[in-house]
Amino acid sequence: MLDATTKEIKERTSGGVINPAKTCQPIGAMYAALGIHGCLPHSHGSQGCCSFHRMHLTRHFRDPIMASTSSFTEGASVFGGGANLKTAIKTIFQVYNPDLIAVHTTCLTETIGDDIPNLIKTAEIPEGKKVIHTNTPSYVGSHVTGFSNMTRSMVNYFSEATTSLKKEQVNIIPGFVNPGDMREIKRIAKLMKAPFIMFPDTSGVVDSPMTGEFQMFPKGGTTQAELTDAGNSKLTIALGRFASSDAAEQLDKKCKVPTATLKTPIGIKATDDLVMALRQAFVTEVPYELEEERGQLVDIMTDTHFHFHGKKVAIFGDPDIVTGMTELVMSLGMKPVHILTGTPGGAPGSTVGSFGEDIKELVGMAGIDANIKAAGDLFTLHQWIKNEPVDLLIGNTYGKFIARAEDIPFVRVGFPVLDRSVHSYMPIVGYRGAMRLVEMISGALLDRQDRDAADEDFELVM
């Protein structure tokens, strides 16, 4: 497996990628747009992009992913895709009848420079329907950037400050996470009795139930009214800086809604931060139910600490998720020694901060000297692991090849997970999500210990 990967690291300076740890912007925009109720994402470009993005999202969620395309041909690429977009908009409303269309661009239409807002203005849009857009040049950022861009566009197109006083409600931007995570975050907000608007919200859309009937626009998704009303909230909690802070900043600029940017609530500390933020904003007691969950989590972590302590871990994936996972494994006493994301890291001081600096600070607190890289690839990660082996690998499905090559226990977390099911329904966020992660990690480590044990060391109790 991956036998062409050598231990010797030859410096690569081209900027090319071998075995990516990111993909392109539009897929993130498509996913975010699915989190608006009654929305059909539309890919403005050639068919291939849309087909790839639908295929990939379908495989991750195992649910229908509906999206349309401008189906460019060479003519459109030369003369511009205005006619394609206008025809598309007309046909979509007539044939599929969504409440709104969310257009995102592709590298083709970005390169030729189609002016989407102007094209939308001149398109035939039926009464009561809406078309929004975001620019998603694939040669900038990653799929996380695309998610962030579409989420910011929701603010641009909808959010308005219409009340003189801000309402006692909070906006929660969950970031590029699974519907199972969004449901868990909403459950926590409900327990905290905090009225909230979550956007985007793909729960009920890409985890829709089997009823014997296909619904092109399922029950879930943030409504347009909610997106508008987000401008009246007294606070926005942006979970995950890379996926969520941009939209939150925009909401602050446009509607004067202050922002609290927190980590994706993976693990006990990040979840505590979310709970504390809600507690402070709504001056409300933390209910016993949550406190009990937290106590259970601490109990579990303490009871099992000896499975984890001192074990070396490699973590890769999307920056917000990787940050959360790094903190979580550290809270278990593990040592994250290789930490990598494919997404570019951002500059220190920018709204998204710098992945490299932040992770360095995080692991530095435990005195760990780790390999850290943004805009990295899995070829690099694999070579790191060959040079400094680890006891556990955490990442998306693509990690399975490295895990097999190096015979390392592997825990699948993040996007995409293409070879296991149910994951998108189950949270990794919140106290209960952390319990699930602890179970997954200890399961992987102990299964390995059992597998490798001699008969006489193979024990009933562990």
Partner 1 sequence: MAITEAQLEEILAKYPSKLQKNRKKHIIINNQECGAQTIEANTRTAPGIITNRGCAYAGCKGVVLGPLKDMVHITHGPIGCAYYTWGTRRNKARTEDLAQNFINYAVSTDMQESDIVFGGEKKLAKVIDEVVENFHPKAITVSATCPVGLIGDDINAVAKAAEERHGIPVLAFSCEGYKGVSQSAGHHIANNGLMDKVIGAGTMEKANGKYPINLLGEYNIGGDGWEVERILTDIGYDIVAVMTGDGSYEDLKNAHVSELNLVQCHRSINYIAEMLEVKYGTPWLKVNFIGVQSTIETLRNMAEYFGDPALKARTEEVIAREVARIEPMMEQYKKVCEGKTAFCFVGGSRGHHYQGLFGELGIDTVLAGYEFAHRDDYEGRQVLPDIKTDADSKNIPELHVNQDPNRFKLKLSPEKMAELKDRIPLSYYAGMYVDMKEGTIMVDDLNHYETEEFIKLLKPDIFASGIKDKYVVQKMGIPAKQIHSYDYSGPYAGFNGAVNFARDVSMGFASPTWNFIVPPWKEEPLLTGKVNAEGVA
Q: Which is nearer to ligand SF4, 26 or 414 (CB)?
A: 26
Q: Considering only residues 95-124, where is the footprint of partner 1 by CB under 8 A?
A: 95-96, 106-108, 110-112
91 binds partner 1, rule: CB under 8 A = yes
Q: How far apart are the first and last CA of the chain?
A: 32
Distance CA 437, CA 181 (A): 13
Q: How many CB atoms lie within 10 A of CB 375?
A: 18
- x/- track of binding to ligand SF4 for residues 29-58 (CB under 6 A): --------------------x--x------
Q: Considering only residues 304-363, where is the footprint of partner 1 by CB under 8 A?
A: 342
Q: Which is nearer to ligand SF4, 14 or 302 (CB)?
A: 14
Q: How far is the CB of 54 from ligand SF4 (least distance, A)?
A: 11
Q: Considering only residues 51-90, where is the footprint of partner 1 by CB under 8 A?
A: 51-56, 58-59, 62-77, 84-85, 87-90
* Residue at token pair 């950037």: 145
CB 170 within 8 A of CB 234: yes
**Which one-letter DSSP state was computed for residue 313?**
E
Q: How far is the CB of 19 from ligand SF4 (least distance, A)?
A: 16
Q: In the numeric block, which tokens belong to residue 392?
A: 């556990």
Q: How far is the CB of 138 from ligand SF4 (least distance, A)?
A: 4
Q: How far is the CB of 317 from ligand SF4 (least distance, A)?
A: 19
- x/- track of binding to partner 1 for residues 135-164 (CB under 8 A): --xxxx-x----------------------
- Which among ligand SF4, partner 1, none contacts residue 185 (Cβ within 5 to 8 A by kind)? none
How many Å is the Cα radius of gyration of the chain? 22
Q: How far is the CB of 100 from partner 1 (least distance, A)?
A: 14
421 binds partner 1, rule: CB under 8 A = no
Closest CA to 114 of 163, 77, 59: 77
Closest CA to 378 of 361, 397, 358, 355: 397
Distance CA 9, CA 386 (A): 10
Helices (H), 197-282: 224-229, 241-255, 268-282
DSSP lists the bridge partners of residue 196 as: 170
Q: In the numeric block, which tokens belong to residue 276?
A: 């504390």
Q: Which of 106, 224, 304, 383 binds ligand SF4 (CB under 6 A)?
A: 106
Total interface residues for partner 1 by CB under 8 A: 84
Closest CA to 307 of 429, 446, 411, 458: 446
Q: Which of 33, 37, 42, 245 binds partner 1 (CB under 8 A)?
A: 42
Residue 20 identity: P
Residue 312 CA, distance from chain mean position:
25
127 binds partner 1, rule: CB under 8 A = no
| Three-state SS at 89 | helix
374 binds ligand SF4, rule: CB under 6 A = no
> Which residue's beta carbon is nearest to the bound ligand SF4?
49
Q: Considering only residues 366-405, where is the footprint of partner 1 by CB under 8 A?
A: 379, 398, 401
Closest CA to 437 of 268, 306, 303: 268
Q: How far is the CB of 7 from ligand SF4 (least distance, A)?
A: 31
Distance CA 147, CA 29 (A): 4
* Residue at token pair 């970031």: 175
Site stretch for partner 1 (CB under 8 A), options 10-18, 231-239, 319-327, 424-432:
10-18
Q: In the numeric block, which tokens belong to residue 191?
A: 């327990």
Q: How far is the CB of 99 from partner 1 (least distance, A)?
A: 16
Q: How far is the CB of 53 from ligand SF4 (least distance, A)?
A: 7
Q: How many CB atoms lie within 10 A of CB 261?
A: 18
Q: Considering only residues 131-190, where is the footprint of ligand SF4 by CB under 6 A?
A: 138
Q: Which is nearer to partner 1, 108 or 255 (CB)?
A: 108
214 binds partner 1, rule: CB under 8 A = yes
Q: Which is nearer to ligand SF4, 24 or 76 (CB)?
A: 24
Whether the bond between 126 and the residue before it is cis, its omega within 30 degrees of 0, is no
Residues at the contact surface with ligand SF4, assessed by CB under 6 A: 24, 26, 49, 52, 106-107, 138
